[in-house]
Structures are given as structure tokens and as C-alpha cells.
């Protein structure tokens, strides 16, 4: 049971150490490892005795970050159950489809998504126990804290949990419709922790987590490694630059991770000039290249050093790291592979390529995921017969062993730290009665990094405005997926093989100097 009961094992070694600060509550709520373990035992007892959750069953959560997310994760570990982490930004219809796919026995939710949960439960036919974290009007839902206090705190163990069993599921890659549920094993979490510790984490480290925990960034970049290593994680409900700067000071954070958009927002917060960040040993940036000007500003004004990284849900997520001393010398590089990660650049025949040749980036490590839930075809496509994971990214490796992403084989773009898959948006656009053909690409935008732009060919004899199509998409997709602009054209550029040439659309945008 050692591999799954993280809360129990850490409570054994450092029961009185501060584990979590829930800064989304007023006043802040502080929990030691012993208190965190007690809460996990109580929730596990309730899930087992009142809901019938057993090893391999799913427990869903759709909510903002807070101690309840960790309660659920650790309780599922004790039971050998699988925490299924849904993106609260999704439209309720999208959430319903994912719930139907993964069939959780219970769903934990924040009050902000109560309306979505009400819509879901009105359409979902299977039994589903509901726990609301804050006040809710959803019929039949129980209050989370009251439920916890009503349950016994007796230790819960499931002795037949093994390293290869799935600990949680995180959703990724909606390139052909619904996002796929990546199965994150206990083995994967342990190997990612080892990579993270070797790379940068020390005993006594403190971090402020700004990523949503339905992402690998929130749950697995620093939170789980710090929990295993006995550090302290400060949680916030949603990113607020001023609050983050205050928390970094108040709790004397030693490490911090964010995406470039977040770092840019920190520099424009009202309390940036007065913020004391001297306790930070370093900051880590991922999700997109970090502008050199931003590196220089943090260094000059706050004395902060940057490490940069590259990761993905299916792989730890930590794969590559660029050391602080290389931030400018190797600008644009994702760095070198983490200690226990093997990376190659291969050609279309899966053969290794020499330095500086461009090919597909493939990966292998103990921190790799176990495949996609109930999707053997997608799993087989991603992982070849030799066990290499094919990223779909074009990359090169220089003579010093530093890797550079050249382009994406896939069309995915990143908007405000969220992966957006154009095929999913295009499928929704095609449901509009006036859309004949369409293509969606990511275009540069100063705040979010990239936003969507849709090119649309209308059906003959029909009409629709850009606002019409955007409003149509907002009833079907999460807001971050909805393109910010629509351009109507007479025809899309098509290759001889009949494929839409998105490269030409990107070149057209670039030539016009659009931002």
C-alpha cells in the first residue's frame, strides 16, 4: 500500500509538518500532514461505505483548486480508486459526454459549476452521488465538509494496489472529438517525483500552485512531488497576479512555476514594485517560449533566476529542463531531457536522426502514462511496438544535446496555458447550418499567447456574421476554445491530397501582420 497512500506515508514521517495552505479560503486554512491524512481517511470511509467505491472505480471532481482536491486524490489512493479530473471551464454538454465515458460513482464540485452539474444530472441516467464544496442548490447534493466530519477517521488501506494501477485520469488531446482520458499510474507519479527531485526540489521547499489541478501542471509538476517530499504547497482558487505576489512573500516560497502569460501579468500587478521575491531559489516557466525580455526583467528587478521546461500530460509531465544559466544562451530551446527520460529525433521510418536534423520527437521513461482510458486505438497510435511515445512534435537536437521544438505536427495551439485543438472547434462550427467549410488556427495575442482565428466558407445562399458564429460556439464549447475572430473567404487552400493547407492560412495572417 506504500505506493498509493501518499498521505498516510507522509503523516508517518512528518505528521506535524505544514503540508497545505488553502489560500482560496478566508481566512487561509492550514493543514499538517497528519490533518491531511485524517481528512483523506474520512472521505475514503464515506466513499467506500456510502457510495460503494472500490478499487478501480472512478470518483469525479470538477472544481477550483483547494484542499478538497487533495482530499479526493489521497482518499482515492487509499481505496485504489481513480480520481477523474474534469475541466471546470468546459460546457456542460462536454462534461456530460466525459462523465458518460468514464462513469464515476461520485462527483465533487465547486459552487461555481453548480448550474452545469444540475444540467448534467438532469441528463445523466446512471446513479451519481454528489458532494458540493460550497453552497449549492443542486438536488440531492451533500455538503463536503459536513460529510467529512460525519465519517469515521479510521485508517483505510487497500493492500492489493500496485504501482501500475491508475491513480487518476487527466484529459488531453481532443483532436478527433472528445478529449482522451490519460491514465496516470502510481508508478508514473513516483518516477516523475524522482525526476523532479533530481532536477530541482529540496527538503523544506514551499511553492504557490497557480495551475488548475485538472491539468498535469497543477497536480503533478510540483504539488505531488512536494507532497511526497514533505514540502508545503499553497493553493489558490484562480490565478490573480497581485494575490500570487503577496502569497510568495507571506509564505516565503522557494520555488514557483507558471506560464509566460502569468509572468507577464505579475510584472504589471499593482504590487510588483514592492514585492519581495528574495526567497525564491528559482522560477520555472513552461507551456510556451519565455521571452528574453521577461527573463531579464525578473533578473534585474527581483533577482529571480529562471529554469524553463517542456512537458505533457502523457509524460510525467516533466520531460525537458533548461537550466537558468542557459536561459539566454540557448533561448528558444526546451533544454535537455530530465534525468530518467530518454528522447530521440526520428524520421518517418522511426530511425534516429543526427544532430540538427528535423524529425519527430519520441520519448520513453518510467514516467510515461499507461494509455488512454477505453481507447485502445489511440493508445496504440501514440505508443509504438518498442514502447516509444510519439509526441507529434517536429524537433531537432543540437550538438550539445539541447532540444528545440521546430513546429507541431498537430495543429494544437496554447491559449492562456490551455491546449486548444482546432479539430474540436471545427467540428462544432460544422454544426452551424450556414458553414460549408472551415479551418481554425492559432494566432499571436499579447495577453494569452495565442487565440483562435476561424476561416469560414459559407454555404451558397446562406448568410451568417462573425458574431453569429461566435455566439453559436459559445453554446457548445468552453470560452477559451471559442475563436476571437472569424474571417469569411471564398475558398480554403487545398492540397492535391484534398487536405486543408493551414500553413498557407498562417502565412497569410503573418504577411498581413495580424496580432
Chain mean pLDDT for the chain: 92
Per mean pLDDT, which range of 174-183, 187-196, 266-275, 482-491 is the poorest?
174-183
- Structurally, at CATH architecture level, domain 413-511 sits in 2-Layer Sandwich (3.30)
More confident residue, 383 or 291: 383
- For residue 175, pLDDT over 50 is answered with no
Mean predicted confidence (pLDDT) in 317-338? 90
191 pLDDT band, cuts 50/70/90, is very high
CB-based burial, 44-72: b 16+ in 10 Å, e otherwise:
bbbbbeebebeeebbbbbbbbbbbbbbbb
> Given its phi and psi angles, is residue 511 left (phi above 0), alpha (psi -120 to 50 degrees) or beta?
alpha
Please tell me the pTM assigned to this model: 0.85
Mean predicted confidence (pLDDT) in 61-73? 97
**pLDDT tens-digit series, residues 288-304:** 777 788 888 999 999 99
How far apart, in Å, are the Cα atoms of 320 and each of 218, 224, 424, 431? 17, 18, 28, 40
Q: Considering only CA atoms, which of 302, 303, 304, 308 is closest in space to residue 320?
A: 308
- For residue 176, pLDDT over 70 is answered with no
**Domain extent listing, the chain:** 6-238, 413-511
- Structurally, at CATH architecture level, domain 6-238 sits in 3-Layer(aba) Sandwich (3.40)
Cβ–Cβ contacts within 10 Å for residue 452, how many?
24
- For residue 211, pLDDT over 70 is answered with yes
332 pLDDT band, cuts 50/70/90, is confident
- For residue 173, pLDDT over 70 is answered with no
Per-residue pLDDT at 145: 96
How far apart, in Å, are the Cα atoms of 191 and each of 101, 170, 232, 315? 28, 17, 20, 10
Per-residue pLDDT at 328: 84
**pLDDT tens-digit series, residues 455-499:** 999 988 999 999 999 999 999 999 999 999 999 999 888 754 456
Mean predicted confidence (pLDDT) in 218-238? 95
- For residue 150, pLDDT over 80 is answered with yes
- For residue 406, pLDDT over 90 is answered with no
Distance (Å, rounded) from C-alpha 115 to C-alpha 124? 14
Amino acid at each position: 500500500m506504500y505506493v498509493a497512500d501518499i498521505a498516510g506515508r507522509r503523516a508517518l514521517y512528518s505528521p506535524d509538518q505544514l503540508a497545505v495552505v488553502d489560500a482560496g479560503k478566508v481566512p487561509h486554512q492550514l493543514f499538517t500532514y497528519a490533518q491531511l491524512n485524517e481528512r483523506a481517511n474520512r472521505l475514503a470511509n464515506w466513499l467506500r461505505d456510502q457510495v460503494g467505491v472500490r478499487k478501480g472505480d472512478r470518483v469525479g471532481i470538477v472544481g477550483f483548486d483547494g484542499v478538497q482536491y487533495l482530499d479526493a486524490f489521497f482518499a482515492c489512493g487509499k481505496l485504489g480508486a481513480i480520481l477523474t479530473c474534469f475541466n471546470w471551464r468546459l460546457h456542460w454538454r462536454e462534461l456530460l459526454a466525459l462523465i458518460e465515458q468514464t462513469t464515476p460513482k461520485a462527483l465533487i464540485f465547486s459552487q461555481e459549476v453548480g448550474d452545469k452539474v444540475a444540467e448534467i444530472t438532469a441528463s445523466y441516467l446512471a446513479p451519481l452521488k454528489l458532494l458540493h464544496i460550497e453552497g449549492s442548490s443542486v438536488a440531492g447534493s451533500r455538503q463536503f465538509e459536513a460529510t467529512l466530519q460525519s465519517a469515521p477517521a479510521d485508517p483505510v488501506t487497500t493492500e492489493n494496489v500496485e504501482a501500475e494501477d491508475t491513480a487518476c485520469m487527466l484529459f488531453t488531446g481532443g483532436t478527433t472529438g472528445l478529449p482522451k482520458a490519460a491514465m496516470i499510474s502510481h508508478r508514473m507519479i513516483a518516477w516523475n517525483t524522482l525526476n523532479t527531485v533530481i532536477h530541482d526540489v529540496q527538503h523544506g521547499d514551499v511553492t504557490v500552485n497557480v495551475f488548475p489541478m485538472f491539468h498535469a501542471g497543477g497536480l503533478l509538476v510540483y504539488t505531488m512531488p512536494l507532497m511526497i517530499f514533505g514540502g508545503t504547497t499553497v493553493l489558490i482558487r484562480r490565478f490573480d497576479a497581485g494575490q500570487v505576489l503577496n502569497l510568495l512573500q507571506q509564505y516565503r516560497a522557494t520555488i514557483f512555476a507558471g506560464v509566460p502569460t502569468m509572468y507577464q501579468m505579475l510584472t504589471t500587478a499593482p504590487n510588483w514594485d514592492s514585492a519581495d521575491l528574495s526567497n525564491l531559489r528559482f522560477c520555472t516557466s513552461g507551456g510556451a517560449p519565455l521571452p528574453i525580455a521577461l527573463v531579464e526583467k525578473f533578473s534585474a528587478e527581483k533577482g529571480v533566476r529562471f529554469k524553463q521546461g517542456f512537458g505533457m500530460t502523457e509524460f510525467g509531465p516533466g520531460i525537458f529542463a533548461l537550466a537558468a544559466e542557459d536561459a539566454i544562451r540557448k533561448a528558444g530551446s526546451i533544454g535537455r531531457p530530465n534525468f530518467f527520460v530518454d528522447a530521440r529525433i526520428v524520421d518517418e521510418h522511426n530511425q534516429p536522426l543526427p544532430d540538427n536534423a528535423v524529425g519527430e520527437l519520441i520519448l520513453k521513461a518510467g514516467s510515461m502514462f499507461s494509455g488512454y482510458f477505453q481507447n485502445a486505438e489511440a493508445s496504440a497510435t501514440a505508443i509504438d511496438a518498442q514502447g516509444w511515445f510519439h509526441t507529434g512534435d517536429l524537433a531537432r537536437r543540437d550538438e550539445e544535446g539541447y532540444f528545440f521544438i521546430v513546429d507541431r505536427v498537430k495543429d494544437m495551439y496554447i491559449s492562456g496555458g490551455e491546449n486548444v485543438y482546432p479539430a474540436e472547434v471545427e467540428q462544432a462550427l460544422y454544426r452551424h447550418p450556414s458553414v460549408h467549410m472551415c479551418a481554425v488556427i492559432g494566432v499571436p495575442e499579447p495577453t494569452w499567447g495565442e487565440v483562435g482565428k476561424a476561416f469560414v466558407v459559407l454555404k451558397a445562399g446562406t448568410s451568417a456574421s462573425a458574431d453569429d458564429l461566435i455566439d453559436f460556439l459559445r453554446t457548445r464549447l468552453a470560452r477559451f476554445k471559442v475563436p476571437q475572430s472569424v474571417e469569411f473567404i471564398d475558398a480554403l487552400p487545398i492540397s492535391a491530397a484534398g487536405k486543408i493547407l493551414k500553413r498557407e492560412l498562417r502565412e497569410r495572417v503573418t504577411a498581413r501582420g495580424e496580432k
